[in-house]
């Protein structure tokens, strides 16, 4: 896990200082090493302070900060092919790299033991002068998650995995084209109109601009073919166990972001068969998540660390979370706080890898509004909504949690979003997920598998509760906003409209879930969003162009 960045000057000016700015603001993503290439000159070191750009200049540069997991400390990037024609940056993990390396070794010289080096030699195998085509072919062989960039001296091609587990942003202004693992790196060089490189897409960057191309499709459009309960259980068991095994293989210690809900309990139970697991939970004292997490760890025999939060803790975390996730949307901030506090404990324990249960609700029908969809519109409509939610995970969940873990130099791995797990889940009849509109739990096949591998029934059948409510954070933030002087009257008096402030609405509950359930649970109070906007303005947590509306509103507030 790492951070990558690159920049191309449109007017042939020197970008060495700009690439260092981009890497410096993302140094938390890679404390174990770094490197850069300016034109064709490569430097590598254990820290950014070791790199010297004063004597090096050029109009094209790429850089990397490294979190060492595979290959130890001897794998600083950029990496080169045998002919030194190709230069690669990679953020992520390739789970089948050993098999690929074995096939490549007879004809390629490997310098490191990293999974990343396998990619550059695979591209070399296909390279015939067309970089875009050779990267396209390479991606079809990779089992893993990644954001990568490769240059052949003429073009830069960047790519993102088919699910979007690893984020990558691109953008341009009048002077530069650039890409980076985090938005703030682009803001640092004056690019505020950044956009995501979409999952399964490539982009070619040159002085002429950006060319986008979709090359991979996630396995979400498969026809239902598994109708039998026992077949569904066995197929799901097989692919989930393998997905978890390969994500903890070779690791002595792994953490789990643990709420005591069925998704994280099932992950922790299976992972504990392969490695040493510690569960990490955060929430308000006596919150449902804290209570269930302690109970689950005790019943299954798992180690657990719990951080019990109070109002002052939550208020302190708000700023930290907004800075980490590069977002100020209330729904994102409130969900992120218990995750951030849990990951913080894992960092204190020196962990480098954590597992999460994200993705299970979208694959197996866990959200409470899914039942209402079945009742009102039927199972075909349910399947459309679930596919849509899976395809939106990259921006609604995965970016947020990757940024939180990487703020603590920890890699997050997502077993439920292994392509094989998705493939099997999408083939299972949706009636084995939600048995009827009266099924108050959902995720039937998912819960039944948990029981069959030893999860007690009271844990397996715990009803779904959103993280912000299960942890108790939601109501506390409402109180914090009021304590800081924000309420409905202020919103009314100054004419504030959160729809004009927020760039995009994230989360299926916000996009459409409120239509099928208790609207008050998912509607964002404008006064709370205004409070978060005020923090973003004061602390300069967004790009300058996004501050204009907040500034105009802010001039009416005595708090700013």
Give the pLDDT confidence score for residue 560 in this predicted structure: 43
Q: pLDDT digits over 211-234, tens only?
A: 999 999 999 988 999 999 999 999
pLDDT at 557 over 60: no
CA distance 286 to 26: 36
Closest by CA position to 179, among listed 212, 152, 139, 154: 212
Contact status, residue 210 vs residue 172, Cβ threshold 8 Å = yes
Q: Which two tokens stand for residue 348?
A: 């204190």
Cα 347 to Cα 175, 214, 341, 344, distances in angstroms: 38, 36, 10, 5
Give the pLDDT confidence score for residue 395 in this predicted structure: 92
Radius of gyration of the chain (CA): 23
CA distance 48 to 34: 6
Closest by CA position to 370, among listed 479, 311, 443, 289: 443
Q: Which of 263-267, 314-318, 444-448, 522-526 has the lowest mean pLDDT?
A: 522-526
Mean pLDDT of 267-285: 97
Q: pLDDT digits over 397-437, tens only?
A: 999 999 999 999 999 999 999 999 999 999 999 999 999 87
Q: How many angstroms separate the first and last alpha carbons of the chain?
A: 38
Fold of 2-214: 3.60.20
Which three-class secondary structure state does DSSP give residue 259? coil
Q: pLDDT digits over 337-378, tens only?
A: 999 999 999 999 999 999 999 999 999 999 989 999 999 999
Contact status, residue 196 vs residue 212, Cβ threshold 8 Å = no
Mean pLDDT of 306-318: 97
Q: Which among 19-33, 146-160, 207-221 has the top mean pLDDT?
A: 146-160
List all residues 6 or more positions away from 99 whose beta carbon is below 8 Å from its beta carbon. none
Give the pLDDT confidence score for residue 141 in this predicted structure: 96
Instruction: Give span(s): CATH 3.40.50.620, the chain.
Output: 229-461
Q: What CATH superfamily classification does 229-461 receive?
A: HUPs (3.40.50.620)
pLDDT confidence band for 74 (50 / 70 / 90): low
Cα 295 to Cα 241, 300, 470, 485, distances in angstroms: 23, 9, 14, 38
CA distance 381 to 516: 13
Using CB atoms within 10 Å of the CB of residue 321, give its burial: 0 to 12 exposed, 13 to 18 middle, 19+ buried. buried
Using CB atoms within 10 Å of the CB of residue 495, give its burial: 0 to 12 exposed, 13 to 18 middle, 19+ buried. exposed
Pick the catalytic residue from 2, 34, 279, 543. 2
CA distance 448 to 428: 14
Total Cβ atoms within 10 A of residue 59: 18
Catalytic residue list contains 2: yes
Closest by CA position to 206, among listed 156, 169, 152: 156
Instruction: Give span(s): CATH 3.60.20.10, the chain.
Output: 2-214
């Amino acid at each position: 896990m790492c951070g990558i960045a690159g920049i191309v000057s449109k007017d042939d000016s020197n970008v060495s200082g700009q690439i260092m700015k981009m890497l410096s603001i993302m140094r938390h993503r890679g404390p174990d090493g770094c490197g850069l290439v300016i034109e064709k000159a490569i430097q590598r070191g254990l820290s950014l302070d070791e790199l010297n750009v004063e004597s090096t200049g050029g109009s094209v540069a790429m850089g990397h900060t490294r979190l060492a997991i595979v290959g130890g400390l001897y794998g600083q990037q950029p990496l080169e092919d045998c002919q030194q024609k190709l230069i690669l940056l990679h953020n992520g993990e390739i789970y089948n790299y050993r098999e690929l390396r074995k096939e490549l070794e007879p004809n390629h010289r490997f310098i490191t033991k990293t999974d990343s080096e396998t990619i550059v030699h695979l591209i070399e195998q296909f390279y015939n002068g067309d970089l875009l085509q050779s990267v396209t072919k390479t991606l079809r062989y990779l089992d893993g998650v990644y954001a990568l960039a490769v240059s052949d001296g003429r073009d830069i091609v960047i790519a993102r995995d088919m699910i979007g587990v690893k984020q990558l942003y691109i953008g341009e202004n009048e002077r530069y084209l650039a890409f980076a693992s985090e938005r703030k790196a682009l803001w640092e060089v004056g690019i505020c109109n950044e956009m995501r490189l979409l999952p399964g897409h490539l982009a070619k960057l040159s002085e002429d601009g950006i060319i986008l191309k979709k090359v991979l499709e996630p396995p979400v459009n498969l026809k239902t073919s598994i109708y039998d309960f026992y077949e569904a259980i066995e197929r799901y068991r097989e692919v989930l166990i393998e997905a978890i095994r390969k994500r903890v293989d070779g690791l002595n210690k792994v953490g789990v972001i643990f709420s005591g809900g069925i998704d994280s309990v099932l992950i922790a139970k299976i992972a504990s068969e392969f490695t040493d697991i510690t569960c990490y939970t955060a929430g308000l004292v006596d919150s449902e998540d804290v209570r269930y997490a302690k109970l689950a760890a005790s019943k299954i025999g798992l180690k657990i660390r719990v951080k019990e939060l109070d109002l002052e803790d939550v208020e302190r975390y708000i700023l930290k979370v907004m800075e980490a996730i590069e977002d100020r949307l209330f729904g994102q901030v409130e969900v992120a706080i218990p995750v951030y506090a849990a990951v913080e404990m894992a960092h204190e324990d020196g962990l480098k890898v954590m597992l999460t249960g994200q993705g299970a609700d979208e694959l197996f029908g866990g959200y409470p509004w899914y039942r209402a969809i079945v009742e009102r519109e039927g199972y075909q409509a349910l399947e459309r909504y679930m596919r849509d939610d899976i395809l939106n995970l990259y921006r609604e969940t995965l970016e947020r949690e990757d940024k939180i873990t990487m703020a603590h130099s920890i890699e997050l791995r997502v077993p439920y979003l292994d392509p094989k797990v998705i493939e099997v889940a999408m083939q299972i009849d949706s009636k084995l997920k939600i048995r009827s509109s009266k099924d108050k739990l959902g995720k039937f096949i998912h819960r039944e598998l948990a029981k069959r591998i030893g999860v007690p029934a009271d844990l397996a059948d715990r009803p779904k509760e959103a993280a912000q409510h299960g942890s108790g954070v939601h109501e506390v933030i409402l109180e914090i906003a009021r304590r800081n002087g924000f309420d409905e009257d202020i919103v009314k008096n100054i004419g504030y409209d959160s729809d004009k402030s927020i760039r995009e609405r994230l989360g299926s509950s916000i996009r459409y879930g409120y239509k099928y359930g208790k609207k008050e649970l998912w509607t964002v109070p404008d006064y709370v969003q205004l409070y978060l906007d005020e923090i973003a303005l004061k602390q300069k947590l967004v790009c300058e162009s996004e501050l204009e509306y907040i500034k105009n509103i802010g001039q009416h507030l005595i708090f700013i």
